[in-house]
Amino acid sequence: MNVAANPAPRPANLAATSILDFHDAAVQRLAREFAQEASGEDLLLQRAHRHLAELLRPVYSVDESRPASVTLRERKGSCSQRIACLESVARALSIPTRVRALRISGSFWYPRFPFWRAFIPRSILLLWPQFFLGRSWTDFDEIHGSIANLAAASAGGFTNSGESLFEAVQHGPVDFFGKTCGLACAPPSTDLSKIVLTDNGFVDTRDEAIARFGNLYRTMRGRAFEAFFGGRNSIP
């Protein structure tokens, strides 16, 4: 979905940050590889995403502030950490990025932790990125195609019980904004907007969003989660 709000990128949307440390050699090396083999920003971003989905092993972690370069070197990361890698590579390719700061119901993660719900807070910050492709901002869930086409090609919505968000956007609708409402090709299960508790709008960088809206990793519950689950494979 292309969102018209604040259509012009700002310098902060291309800047390096503590998390999006795209000046690091590992990020620069990947960016150069992609730039040599694809043309057009949308194709560059799609190729980068597919490569990172294959390269980075999906694991559990709530360390939202980990630099993208560390995730690349360790070749594993949570959804958020791998998304940060994609943002970092995008900025290295001169594609502006920003995030939409959502508060998601903790129940969204219950299918993954049926016996450990005490570790999951009532709401969890989800930073959903956008990429400035051509002349408009494009949500992460539509970098591989429109939400209508993804819904038409998929048997249902995202359930958070198998593959992770990072992989799922390649071939199915991950709809936190109610885009699939009213689409004849989409069953009601594709609409995840009901689990969005608060939409805090757009923030130029995920570093700023974490500073403003909090970091679960810095809480006792977050530390406990990291101690028990951090680094464990997140896909069965």
Please indicate, yes or no, whether the overall pTM of this predicted structure exceeds 0.85.
Answer: yes
Helix (H) or strand (E) holding 226, with range, is helix 220-229
User: Quick one: 134 exposed, middle or buried, by C-beta within 10 A (0-12, 13-18, 19+)?
Assistant: exposed
Tell me what pLDDT residue 37 has: 74
Tell me what pLDDT residue 119 has: 74
Residue 190's contacts (CB-CB under 8 Å, 6 or more residues apart) are 151, 154, 156, 157, 158, 173, 175, 180
Spans of the chain, pLDDT less than 50: 1-4
Tell me what pLDDT residue 19 has: 98
Top CATH class, 2-229:
alpha beta
Tell me what pLDDT residue 219 has: 77
Tell me what pLDDT residue 185 has: 63
At 105, give phi and psi (nearest 5°). -60, 135
Tell me what pLDDT residue 38 has: 66
Tell me what pLDDT residue 100 has: 97
Tell me what pLDDT residue 34 has: 87
Tell me what pLDDT residue 2 has: 40
CB atoms within 10 A of CB 232: 9
Tell me what pLDDT residue 227 has: 83
User: Quick one: 152 exposed, middle or buried, by C-beta within 10 A (0-12, 13-18, 19+)?
Assistant: middle
Tell me what pLDDT residue 1 has: 41
Tell me what pLDDT residue 5 has: 56
